[in-house]
């Protein structure tokens, strides 16, 4: 089903960002660049989880009772 596929797509994206984050941290020598890069990656991952897994926007919808 499409809804399940969406979960796996987001998960794959999160896994890719996590591994990129790991490689980036091990290979970038400049502390400031590494700090900013890791911060951006963390905010991006948190945004994806909040939007797709935690359904942040459902707060503003008139959904049916759960």
Partner 1 sequence: MAVITFGPPAHDLPNRAQINRVGLWLFFFSEAILFGLLLSARFFLEGIHRAQVNQFLGLIITIILLLSSVSAFTAETAIEHDRRRLASAMLLVTIFLGMVFAVGVGFEWATAEFHRKEAFGTVFFTMTGIHATHVVTGVLMLSLAWAQLRRGKYSSKSHWPISGTVMYWHFVDVVWVFYYPALYLVS
Contact residues for partner 1 (CB under 8 A)?
Answer: 1, 3-4, 7-8, 10-11, 14-15, 18, 21-22, 25-26, 31, 34-35, 38-39, 41-42, 45-46, 49-50, 52-56, 58-59, 61-66
CA-atom Rg of the chain in angstroms: 16
In the complex, what is the shortest distance from the CB of residue 47 to partner 1, in angstroms, rounded to a whole number?
Answer: 9
In the complex, what is the shortest distance from the CB of residue 65 to partner 1, in angstroms, rounded to a whole number?
Answer: 5
- Give the count of beta carbons closer than 10 Å to the beta carbon of residue 22: 12
Rounded to an integer, what distance in angstroms lies between the CA atom of residue 24 and that of residue 26?
Answer: 6
């Amino acid at each position: 089903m499409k809804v399940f596929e969406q979960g796996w797509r987001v998960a794959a994206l999160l896994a890719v960002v996590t591994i990129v984050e790991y490689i980036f941290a091990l290979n970038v020598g400049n502390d400031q660049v590494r700090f900013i890069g890791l911060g951006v990656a963390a905010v991006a991952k948190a945004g994806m989880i909040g939007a797709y897994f935690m359904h942040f926007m459902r707060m503003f919808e008139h959904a049916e009772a759960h």
